[in-house]
Amino acid sequence: MSQIALPALYALLLWWFSTGIILYAVGLSRRSYRVSVAISAVCLIVALWALAQGGQATARDAYVTFACVLAVWGFVETTFLTGYITGPRKTPCPPGCTGARRVRYATETIIYHELMLVAGFAAIVAATGGGDTFAIGLYAMLWVMRLSSKLNLFLGVPTLNAELLPPPLRHLRSYFRQRPMNALFPVSALGSAAVTAWLVGRAFSDGASDYDVTVYILMASLLALGLLEHLFMLIPMPIAGLWGPQIKARAEKAEAETAKPAADLASVRAQPSRKISVGGVQ
């Protein structure tokens, strides 16, 4: 049983801790962003070096590889969330923008980040000589789930959770759409659930070594967490609280700041029009 519980707990804790560290770092002043990126760059170099050393296909090696891939992913995420590598468009979506124009503008806001994701994948392939299928598959899985999240937010979901966006990326909220459902979401949810179940089944298959069991459970756990992130798009709950009161308070402040202009505009529109009196004639 520990063969199943330990890698699942490891994946959960490492996901929660690394996500919390990034959210905390991007919530600091912009003057600290360079330090955050520099630290994540050091983690990137160490992770790629560790991946390049190879392993002996033991459970311990699986845990190390998992952490290394998350470090590579964390560097790409940090450069994005700090606003250093996003896209050429850094302005909100123009009102009334729809169709192909909206797709183009949205793409322009994150295209450099997408290229960084490609570079991260290439770096892992190069570091491992293309031979570590676990590292490559894990990064690819993270990539697919993140792309799915972006597309679902763009197409429309009930809960946006946009309060987690740091200041450099607040304009991205205008490219999200709030609606009951979109056609892609069921495919994303059912597809990831099916693959998660398949991975768990592989872990319990006859002849699976300790390394195989650890690898499959780590991948299944991370994919299940990705599915949970998708389900958060359906449930109106303050998920920022998962990472402590400080991040929750920052998210609530960001939500209030975003809601205030909309409320002020609605108040102005609700006021009756006033006629100007000139020389006693209205």
pLDDT tens-digit map of 34-52: 999 999 999 999 999 999 9
Angle, in degrees to the nearest 10, between helices 210-231 and 2-26: 50
| Residue 262: predicted pLDDT | 47
Say yes or no to pLDDT of 258 above 90: no
HSE value, Cβ hemisphere, 13 Å, CA-based, for 74: 32
174-211 tens-digit pLDDT: 999 999 999 999 999 999 999 999 999 999 999 889 99
- Angle, vertex CA 125, rays to CA 120 and CA 128, nearest 5: 120
9-26 tens-digit pLDDT: 999 999 999 999 999 988
Mean pLDDT of the chain: 90
% of residues, the chain, pLDDT over 70: 91
100-133 tens-digit pLDDT: 999 999 999 999 999 999 999 999 999 999 999 9
Q: DSSP label at 217?
A: H
